[in-house]
Amino acid sequence: MKNTIHTLISIAIVVGFSACSATYNTGVAKTSYTPKAIDNAKLENGALIKVADGLYINKVDNKSTVFFLASSFSTMLGFDSLDSVIVTEGKHSIQFQRDGKTGYRNLFIGSMHYKKGHEYFINYTEFDSRQIYYWMEDLTDNKVVYGKKVTEESLKNKKD
């Protein structure tokens, strides 16, 4: 009798966990961007870096890109956060955050060489609001230049 009860409880737990489906959230490009020039960079001789909707840039080369309170309380205070920046050609590092997700406080793209005239896009896939995978694509050359592109499908296949 005890074994039967234990078996039924185990089955109920497994079925209960199976019924909870994983949630995925993948970034998408915004319809328009408002880039901020960093260190007098200009679009014609610099590189444009954009982030997916839901991300915002808060530091370039370890220097804050927005007013301190805006980076910490942008949503609450109604400040705009940076969705794109223009940097000079050369090596730069980018720090960004996922809007409203305190667990992902600081996400980084390490020191990377940005090419003049190129457009870059930081994208992400989020799994169950617990894990975030992010990467950078060079939209001009149509290739991933930082990290590994992770899709909902690749995460589902990984679990199987």
> What residues does each domain of the chain span?
23-159
Give the angle 7-12-13 at the CA atoms, nearest 5°.
100
Q: What is the pLDDT of residue 147?
A: 93
DSSP per-residue codes, 63-92: EESS-HHHHHHHHHHT---BSEEEEESEEE
Q: Which helix (H) or strand (E) holds 9?
A: helix 2-19
| Tens digit of each residue's pLDDT (9 = 90 or more) over 96-128 | 988 766 555 688 999 999 999 999 999 998 877
Residue pair 123/27 in contact (Cβ under 8 Å)? The answer is yes
pTM: 0.76
Which residues of the chain fall short of a pLDDT of 50? 5-19, 69-71, 74-78
